[in-house]
Amino acid sequence: MSAFFDAWHYDGKKAVKRKVEVQIIGQQFYLLEAEQRHGPFAFADVQYVAHQGEVDIYGMADRDGWRLMLSGPVPSDMAVLLPASRKYGGLVDRLGFAKAAIAFTLTSAAAVAVVLFSPVWLAPLIPDSVDQSLGDALVGNFGGRFCHTPAGDAALKKLVAALDANPQDLRVEVAKIDMLNAIALPGGNVILFDGLIKQAKTPDEVAGVLAHEIGHVREKHVMQALLRQMGLAVVLGGIDGNSGALVNNVLAMSYSRESEAEADAHSMKALANAYISPAGTASFFDRLSNLDGSAAAGKDSAAITGYLSSHPLSASRKEAFEKSIVKGKDYKPALNAAEWRALKSMCTQDRKAKSGFGFDFD
């Protein structure tokens, strides 16, 4: 019997992060709080989820949202009972973008995803646990590319809280990748690429794009698009057989016109609720479409293809945001000047974050 103290726990029912002690009894364990005891849980049901910074995150079979987060060195009698982390590590963590891209090139001809059923009605049937574990497995720590500074994190948190009523269900990260892109992934994951934040002139512009991606999460488009892109077998079969293709498919995931319109509508509503003007988003779209035309052969066009390939910018999208401006409404900036600076400089300041696509690692 032993106890381990540096542990945090979510029970999957309440969004409360609990500080717990792990008490090991044979092949089982309890989680002890000051006034409560959770368990017993079997080590056999523990699943590795992800590694973030110094913290290992574990889940529990058949318990959605159950998480155990362990930081620092784990006592050896407990370590031998926990599942190996590398086996289930995030795909990008394991493969790296470069290897994943090569794997995709080699397998794309063979990897024809057969969609047996319509993704539109199939998507709601995929259990939340699959959505969550697929998201965790895909994202991991994104190969160490997520940027963090105390002030940048606080600014991002403020932005997300302004745009969504249940921000604790979402995990929004900024990745140190110089590409103009933003993606929504399963499990409530949204990733803003630093290239997009650098290209934005005001926090309102980032707010509109972020709210659009949150719209894809909230309108349940992500699983639909994933099924359309890859088929049921890959989604349910997990990530081991077809991993390189999966990463690239996800990065190139695109949505139907209807989904895009719904995500835009969600964004405009979220901006209105937060008293953030949609004018920023309209001018951002405007600048991007001009960039597309004027710099077609230049370096800029490569940088913007990410967002444009998954989010075609029609004049009507820009006009919809313009039309949603309410004259005389008491709009305020999405972030103040200091917060905006902190968000913009977060990836430059975080020197520990890895950068780029081509970086190869184990």
CB of 48 to Zn ion, least distance (A): 31
Binding residue (CB under 5 A) for Zn ion from 70, 226, 263, 271: 263
Q: Does residue 225 bind Zn ion (CB under 5 A)? A: no
CB of 202 to Zn ion, least distance (A): 20
CB within 8 A of 304, min separation 6: which ones? Answer: 180, 199, 288, 291, 292
- Which CB atom, from 70 or from 180, has the smaller least distance to Zn ion? 180
Q: Does residue 214 bind Zn ion (CB under 5 A)? A: no
Query: Cβ distance 231 to 119 under 8 Å?
Result: no
- Residue at shortest CB range from Zn ion: 263
CB within 8 A of 294, min separation 6: which ones? Answer: none
C-alpha atoms less than 13 angstroms from C-alpha of 144 in its C-beta half-sphere: 15
Subset of 311-330 contacting Zn ion (CB under 5 A): 311
CB of 224 to Zn ion, least distance (A): 12
- Which CB atom, from 91 or from 253, has the smaller least distance to Zn ion? 253
Q: How far apart are the first and last CA of the chain?
A: 35
- Which CB atom, from 58 or from 307, has the smaller least distance to Zn ion? 307
- Which CB atom, from 139 or from 211, has the smaller least distance to Zn ion? 211
Best CA proximity match to 196, nearest among 115, 304, 118: 304
The Cα 328–Cα 339 span in angstroms is 25
CB of 116 to Zn ion, least distance (A): 25
Q: Does residue 210 bind Zn ion (CB under 5 A)? A: no
Q: Does residue 303 bind Zn ion (CB under 5 A)? A: no
Best CA proximity match to 192, nearest among 145, 127, 227: 145
Give the amino acid at 58. Y
Q: Which residues pair with 42 in a beta bridge?
A: 28
Other Cβ atoms less than 10 A from the Cβ of 237: the count is 12
- Which CB atom, from 89 or from 278, has the smaller least distance to Zn ion? 278
CB of 188 to Zn ion, least distance (A): 16
- Which CB atom, from 57 or from 225, has the smaller least distance to Zn ion? 225
Sequence length of the chain is 362
Could you give the 3-state DSSP secondary structure of residue 11?
Answer: strand
Number of residues that bind Zn ion (CB under 5 A): 3
Binding site for Zn ion (CB under 5 A): 260, 263, 311
